[in-house]
Structure 1
Amino acid sequence: MHICYISNLYPPETIGGAEKYVRNVSEELVRRGHKVSVLTTAASDSGSVSSFNSERRNGVDVYRITPANMYTPIEHRDASPWQKPVQHIIDLWNPQIYAKFKSKLLSLEPDVIHTNNFGGLSAAVFTAAGAIDAPIIHTLHDYRLIDIRPDLFNNGEIIGVRKIMKPFRLFNKKIIEPHITQVLSPSQFVINKHKESGLFESTPCDRLKLGVSPSNSGEEINYVETDDFRILFAGQITKQKGVDILISAFEQLDQKDVRLDILGKGPEKEKLERRSEGDERIQFHGFVSEEELDRYYQLADTTVLPSRWYDNSPMVIYESYSHSTPVIGANIGGIPELIEEGITGELFDPENVKDLSNKLSLAHESFDKRMSENAHDWAQKNTLTNHVDQLENHYLSEMESK
């Protein structure tokens, strides 16, 4: 089977978990003997707007092109304010992307096309894919079909389904939806939010949880005892991720034998570093390699997701469980679908500093290794292997129905 993935980013260019997901699934399918191609973007300084650059990464054929727009997905945080409105207009339907993707897809002749995050590529990838005689499966990683703000978050708060974005949703319903034969999402919350917005009312939708890479999920419980009680945050340091909430909750802990490790980068990092200068228990480590991330998961007693936004199905939870580390998460979006309270972790009221601080204090005072065992067992049931087994079934079913 030849599967072609369309994703706005692909490692080593990464921002979030979606592009890592595409890589992990692609490489697993290659190991199973399938042919896998990926169409993605290239940064302005390393690609071309006129043709795809090609490379083979761990058996996956990767084709990168620079969109003819103001900036590429990897460059969006450095964009000037005046560039963004122009970017959004072109990113509705980019004729360059349509022409180049259609031509490449016709030459590749995939059996299945699997679209993922497409910000920076525009709706044109769907009309280009629609010209190919192959089923199109789309995985929802965010809310880009609902609003130009794919996290439904603005000025420090959730914006929900805005009336002003109704024409945008109608455009997507007309241009994108007819080409999609199957919708997948790791979170039922995300599927429901799209249906509430009037999207995919007659398109088959299925919740398919992600999976943990076999390299991270061994048979033995992966727990390391340390002198301190270590709390971990791993992700983008942005307002919607709620790192400031975690720091405020942590600062209320009187214990000296607690430590907060914050991994990642983002626009809030410098401000939060300055704020935390007086507390030696709080350490910022910046962006770390995947090998280093594994080590921090092993050292952590609990991982915290203090999200303000409608988080989908955070890969951090899967990765944390694979290292036998329980998770304390905000009760918002798809997070509660992955945390069994008192079993694999705890939930707290979103943005409630006192509630989170109480959960951290309780975890420190009465740490239960059974939670580590439960987290490990959860990861064993939700492996990348199991996920790809189900993906293959979806692909075969859609091919038979085409």
Structure 2
Amino acid sequence: MRVLVGHNRYTQHGGEDAVFNAEVAMLESNGHEVIVFEKSNNQIASMSKASAAMSFVWSRESKRELQEVIGRRRPEIAHFHNTFPLISPSAYYACKEAGIPVVQTLHNYRLLCPAYTLVRNGEVCEICINKSFAWPAIRYRCYRGSAMQSAGVGAMLTIHRLMKTWSETVSAYIALTQFSRGKFIEGGFPAEKMHVKPNFMVPAQSSTPALHERNYLLFVGRLSHEKGTDVLLHALTRLRHIPVKIIGDGPLAEQLDSFIQDNGLTNVERIGQLPHDEVLPFVEAAACLVVPSRWYEGFPMTIVEAFSRAVPVIAARLGSLAEIVDDGTTGLHFDSGSSEDLARKLDWGWSNKEAMRAMGDNALREFRDNYLPQRNHEILMTIYKSAIGTGDPT
């Protein structure tokens, strides 16, 4: 199959970029002809503010370039990951005019929320989901702290809702979880076009067995309010006997360092930011991974990586996390935002190592059943066939 894949890369390489790269490699390894159409946010620096703002809504340049690629390569289907801000929804129309069905992966909540996270002030916020125009986003300066830029993204969402872009030019959407699918349906997206396909992972080579002492708990992620790192540290004031390693950096780094020092948390080691390949050995040697987020995570690859190493996960009972981690089977849930409940679950997990090992074994089975490339390819082909069957033949 000739597949055109489109993606607007971020200034700093992140999870969506990594998933895009992995999916391109998966398609190629399964014998598909992959046509890559890319833009990068690094290009924005050379654009005028007016031109950049216009590209939010409609990029004539991207549409023209895409039409040229389509004319030359004649893809059978187009699959977009991130189109914001330089590719824009104009890409869907380039495909529609050429009779090419479009698939859009929903890595985040951009099409429901100008901030793309459904988070405001570090907490879940859904007030724009059913708004005809995202006025609250302008009031609260949700996109990059700017009322003007928030208005630009809000205008893009409203204009394309009125143009019926979301309902009529996209043949199939891919949500990462059933929870995410439900949020988009709640926001007015057509249920019949909403499919679910999780992220996947190519298993990395295991490190040496000597590292697998499983003698600490692990947090990996951005040190920010919505990630719940403060919830974890407050829980650890009750659990000074449990060693914990924290990998990552972010806006709360100094505050967390002060908290660790002021409260004498000598059991907590903050390692800082590490390259991805240096994180995996820490995951593999952990007793469990802790995910204390306060927001609707998309599909954290750290959980998939933990599962691939038979490491159970203790996660907030919130959004997709409660779906990905099966409470009592592949890990444990705690009440989101509650350091008391998190402390109880961490203490139980540390005191019941055999039960946690069994959950780790279940997590590895879950990984092998659902998160390997071949299974993901099968799901993707089913979605592509559905999209081709409903594509606009004109």
- TM (normalized to structure 2)? 0.82
Deviations 1:125-151 (A, max 9, x none): 333333333211111121111110110
Unpaired runs of 5+ residues, structure 2, are 134-153
Correspondent of 2:323 among 337, 353, 356: 337
- Per the TM alignment, residue 245 of structure 1 is displaced from its structure 2 partner at its CA by 1.3
Secondary structure, aligned partner of 2:57: coil
In the alignment, which residue of structure 2 is the partner of 1:159?
125
Correspondent of 1:364 among 344, 350, 371: 350
Correspondent of 1:96 among 61, 67, 92: 61
2-side partners of 1:88 and 1:196: how far apart?
A: 28
In the alignment, which residue of structure 2 is the partner of 1:191?
181
2-side partners of 1:347 and 1:398: how far apart?
A: 36
2-side partners of 1:137 and 1:270: how far apart?
A: 42
The residue type paired with residue 103 of structure 1 is: E
Given that 1:145 and 1:172 are in contact with CA atoms closer than 8 Å, whether structure 2 keeps it comes out as no
1-side partners of 2:209 and 2:71: how far apart?
A: 46
- Per the TM alignment, residue 260 of structure 1 is displaced from its structure 2 partner at its CA by 2.0
- Per the TM alignment, residue 334 of structure 1 is displaced from its structure 2 partner at its CA by 0.8
Are 1:231 and 2:217 an aligned pair? yes
2-side partners of 1:224 and 1:378: how far apart?
A: 23
Deviations 1:163-182 (A, max 9, x none): 79422454333234321001
Correspondent of 2:160 among 166, 172, 180: 172
- Per the TM alignment, residue 67 of structure 1 is displaced from its structure 2 partner at its CA by 8.2
Deviations 1:58-107 (A, max 9, x none): xxxxxxxx88465xxxxxxxxxxxx9xx9666523333333334434443
What pairs with 1:218-367 in structure 2 (closer than 5 Å)?
224-226=211-213, 229-255=215-241, 258-277=242-261, 278-367=264-353
In the alignment, which residue of structure 2 is the partner of 1:14?
13
1-side partners of 2:337 and 2:48: how far apart?
A: 36
Correspondent of 1:39 among 30, 37, 55: 37
Correspondent of 2:382 among 385, 393, 400: 393
Q: Which stretch of the first structure deviates more once superposed, 343-352 or 207-216?
A: 207-216
Are 1:181 and 2:171 an aligned pair? yes
1-side partners of 2:361 and 2:210: how far apart?
A: 9
Deviations 1:329-359 (A, max 9, x none): 1111111111111111000111011000111
2-side partners of 1:312 and 1:282: how far apart?
A: 27
2-side partners of 1:157 and 1:67: how far apart?
A: 34
1-side partners of 2:123 and 2:105: how far apart?
A: 25
2-side partners of 1:367 and 1:336: how far apart?
A: 22
Given that 2:239 and 2:343 are in contact with CA atoms closer than 8 Å, whether structure 1 keeps it comes out as yes
In the alignment, which residue of structure 2 is the partner of 1:148?
114
2-side partners of 1:190 and 1:67: how far apart?
A: 35
Change in Cα spacing, 1:98 to 1:281, as seen in structure 2 (3 Å) is: farther
Given that 1:153 and 1:159 are in contact with CA atoms closer than 8 Å, whether structure 2 keeps it comes out as yes
Change in Cα spacing, 1:290 to 1:114, as seen in structure 2 (3 Å) is: same
Secondary structure, aligned partner of 1:244: helix
Secondary structure, aligned partner of 2:75: coil
Given that 1:303 and 1:327 are in contact with CA atoms closer than 8 Å, whether structure 2 keeps it comes out as yes
In the alignment, which residue of structure 2 is the partner of 1:374?
362
In the alignment, which residue of structure 1 is the partner of 2:149?
none
- TM (normalized to structure 1)? 0.81
The residue type paired with residue 160 of structure 2 is: N
- Per the TM alignment, residue 314 of structure 1 is displaced from its structure 2 partner at its CA by 2.0
Given that 2:166 and 2:189 are in contact with CA atoms closer than 8 Å, whether structure 1 keeps it comes out as no
Query: How many equivalent residue pairs?
Result: 361
Are 1:213 and 2:209 an aligned pair? no
Change in Cα spacing, 1:166 to 1:268, as seen in structure 2 (3 Å) is: farther
- Per the TM alignment, residue 366 of structure 1 is displaced from its structure 2 partner at its CA by 1.1
Given that 1:211 and 1:385 are in contact with CA atoms closer than 8 Å, whether structure 2 keeps it comes out as no
Q: RMSD in angstroms over aligned alpha carbons?
A: 2.9
Secondary structure, aligned partner of 2:68: helix
1-side partners of 2:25 and 2:54: how far apart?
A: 34
In the alignment, which residue of structure 2 is the partner of 1:109?
74
2-side partners of 1:246 and 1:211: how far apart?
A: 27
What is the percent sequence identity of the aligned residues? Answer: 24
- Per the TM alignment, residue 223 of structure 1 is displaced from its structure 2 partner at its CA by 9.5
In the alignment, which residue of structure 2 is the partner of 1:29?
27
The residue type paired with residue 39 of structure 1 is: F
The residue type paired with residue 391 of structure 1 is: L
The residue type paired with residue 347 of structure 1 is: H
Change in Cα spacing, 1:163 to 1:195, as seen in structure 2 (3 Å) is: closer
Deviations 1:192-230 (A, max 9, x none): 1111122225x42122223232336x8x9989542x731
Secondary structure, aligned partner of 1:312: coil
2-side partners of 1:67 and 1:346: how far apart?
A: 48
Secondary structure, aligned partner of 1:114: strand
